[in-house]
Amino acid sequence: MSGNSLGKLFRVTNWGESHGKAIGVVVDGCPSLLELSEKDIQKELDRRIPGQSKITTQRKEKDKVEILSGIFNGKTTGTPISMIIYNKDFRKEDYKKLTKALRSSHADFTYEKKYGIRNPYGGGRSSARLTAGNVAAGAIAKKILKEKLNTEIIAYTKRIKDIEAVVDTGKVKEKYVEASIVRCPDHKKSEEMEALVEETAKKGDSVGGIIECVARNIPPGLGEPIFDKLDADLAKAMMDINAVKGFEIGSGFSAAGMYGTAHNDPFIMEAGKIRTKTNNSGGVQGGISNGMPIILRVAFKPTATIQKQKAIDMKGNDIKLGAGRHDPCVVPRAVPIVEAMAALVLCDHYLRFKALGGKDGN
C-alpha cells in the first residue's frame, strides 16, 4: 500500500533515511535451509559503496551489514531476515541550507507536497543510499537463484553519454566488469568513459548513461500474466531505482523501426531443447520467460547535483547552493543495484513458479 515493499512470495521491505541512524531491509519469504552469512551480503554491498574510486562520491560509508534475525547455525530459518546498516559519515551542517531548498530535478518538492514533512538531510528517504538495503536483499535472491538454477545475473555500463560499448551478452563475465572503474567490460570504451566522467566532474557537470543486464539460466515459465508479467515486473523494479528514466527489454525501442521478418525470433531444436535462433524478445514472450537469456537496458539521467545547482524555497526565493559530495555519473555505482533489482524480481517469480507446480530445468 505505502510503496515500501516489493515482491509477493519473496517480499522485501525497505526502511530508513540517508542521514538517519541506520537504513535496512526485511526479507520475508526466503526459503529455509539456505546457507547464508553476512559475508554473502557484504560482497555485493562493497560494489555499491560510495568512495570506491576516484570517479564516485567521496562520502565515506563502509556499509557494514548486520543480520539481526532469520538465521540459525548459518542457515536461513524461513522467518523474516532483518538486515541493518548504520549510517556513519553524515554531516548535517553540510545540509543546513538544504532543509528549505527545492533543488532542481531532486525529489524535494514532490516529497514536501505529498507528505507535508520530510527529512531533508542528504535527500532523506529519496536518497539513492536507500538502494543499499535492496542490494543486501538482492544478494540473498542471487544466492537462491544460483543454487537452484545456476543463474548468473551480470550488469555493466553499456553507455555513458554518447560513448557506447560493444559487449557480447553471451560471454560477458563479472570479472571483466569489475576490472573497470566505470564497470564497462569493453576495455577501450571503458578508458574513454573514464576520461569523460573525470572531465565532466572537473567542469562541475554530470552525465547520464545506460546499464545493460543479462540473466542467464532462467527456465521457461517465470511470469504471471496478465498484470504480473515478468517484463512488466522487471520494468517496475528498474524504474524504482533512483535517477532511472527509461527501460527496455530485448530489441526495446529499436523494435519500432524494424520489419517483422528481421524481428521475429524463430524457434529451433538444439541438443534436445527448444530455443530461439535470435533473441529480440529479450527472453520474455507473453510476459513469461522462454528460457533464453533475459536482456534488459536501463537509462539513467545525469546526476541532478551539479556545481551550479539552482534552487528556490517554498516562497519562491532563490537559494544559493554548493554541489556537496556527489557522483558525477551514477551509472557505475548503479550496476550492482540493477543486478539486485533483477535478482529480486526473478527470485520472486521463481518461487511463484514453484508454488504453481513449475519444475526446475524445464
Ligand X SMILES: Cc1cc2nc3c(=O)[nH]c(=O)nc-3n(C[C@H](O)[C@H](O)[C@H](O)COP(=O)(O)O)c2cc1C
Distance CA 218, CA 202 (A): 43
What DSSP designation does 128 have?
Answer: G
C-beta of 300 vs 350, nearer to ligand X:
300
C-beta of 88 vs 187, nearer to ligand X:
88
C-beta of 38 vs 240, nearer to ligand X:
240
Three-state secondary structure call for residue 87? coil
C-beta atoms surrounding 55 within 10 Å? 19
Ranked by CB distance to ligand X, the top (closest) residue is: 326
Distance CA 76, CA 238 (A): 27
Chain residues that interact with ligand X, rule: CB under 6 A: 57, 106-107, 123, 126-128, 241-243, 301, 303-305, 326-327, 330, 333-334, 337
CA distances from 66 to 25, 76, 294, 312, 357 (A): 11, 15, 32, 39, 35
Q: Closest distance between ligand X and the C-beta of residue 3, in Å?
A: 13
C-beta of 18 vs 290, nearer to ligand X:
18
C-beta of 107 vs 145, nearer to ligand X:
107
DSSP H helices, 166-259, are 174-178, 187-202, 230-239
Q: Closest distance between ligand X and the C-beta of residue 73, in Å?
A: 35
Q: Closest distance between ligand X and the C-beta of residue 110, in Å?
A: 8
CA distances from 118 to 28, 90, 98, 139 (A): 28, 17, 12, 30
Distance CA 312, CA 86 (A): 32
Q: Closest distance between ligand X and the C-beta of residue 304, in Å?
A: 4
C-beta of 242 vs 251, nearer to ligand X:
242
Residue from 30, 28, 119, 111 nearest 75 by CA: 30
What DSSP designation does 224 have?
Answer: B
Q: Closest distance between ligand X and the C-beta of residue 2, in Å?
A: 18
Q: Closest distance between ligand X and the C-beta of residue 183, in Å?
A: 11
C-beta of 71 vs 201, nearer to ligand X:
201
Cis peptide before 226 (omega within 30 of 0): yes
Q: Closest distance between ligand X and the C-beta of residue 59, in Å?
A: 8
233-266 in b/e form (b: 16+ CB < 10 A) is bbbebbebbbbbebbbbbbeeebeeeeeeeeebe
For residue 292, the Cα-to-chain-centroid distance in whole angstroms is 21
Q: Closest distance between ligand X and the C-beta of residue 129, in Å?
A: 8
C-beta of 202 vs 277, nearer to ligand X:
202
